[in-house]
Amino acid sequence: MLKKITQKYIRHFFHYLKLILKKLPILMEHPFYYFKEVLNISKSLISSILLQFPHFKLNCIDRKINGVNFKFYFNFAPRYRSMFFGLNSVPVTRVVLKYVKKGTCFIDVGANVGYISAIGASLVRKKGQVHSFEPVPTYFDKLRELALLNNDYNINTKQYALGEEIGTSNININKRLIGAISLVSGLSDPSLIKETIEFEFKRLGDYLLEK
């Protein structure tokens, strides 16, 4: 049993090592940020293994993203694994790291489970603001949890989408990939649609005027 578990995690290790090497040129653009990420990942993994040993399972692990608390629900979606290792949405993270500064305002439209919002919060810090919008209820629950875990940060979450007009629409939720959703009828493979939900649209300008 122990041999099988060891082999499994060795395979995971080399899989993510290959991903890191592939994206190394981008990661090295912000070495200090990713160095702290490596330290946080290592600390979180070691503490989780020690606390759960010998029944360690990758179900949910807490760790900090550049100082911001975040829960990684591996049993909710496979994409949480790449998030945990800092390898999810690397091109987006690259842009956020380049342009978002301390004390500024960060707006995350279609925030999903809050991974990019957490990175944004870590950059604007406690004097800045984060405004995150996500219409899908199961994703929004995770996004709202991010705000609750970091109540000393100014993270504002809203459960609706943003658009040009006010109204409602239907959206198809993918069975496998969080964030792989579509407003376009017939675009999604019917076999991969988990459910179709109705959600609300609002305008960003109206929201900002309220603020």
Q: Which of 200, 203, 64, 87 is nearest to 137 (CA)?
A: 200
Q: Is 197 in contact with 173 (CB distance < 8 Å)?
A: yes
Each domain of the chain, given as residue ranges in start order, spans 2-159
pLDDT score for 159: 96
Per-residue confidence (pLDDT) for residue 100, from 0 to 100? 97
pTM of the full structure: 0.81
Backbone dihedral region of 112: left (phi > 0), alpha (psi from -120 to 50 degrees) or beta?
A: left
User: What confidence tens digit (pLDDT) does each residue in 110-146 have?
Assistant: 999 999 999 999 999 999 999 999 999 999 999 999 9
CATH class, 2-159 region: alpha beta
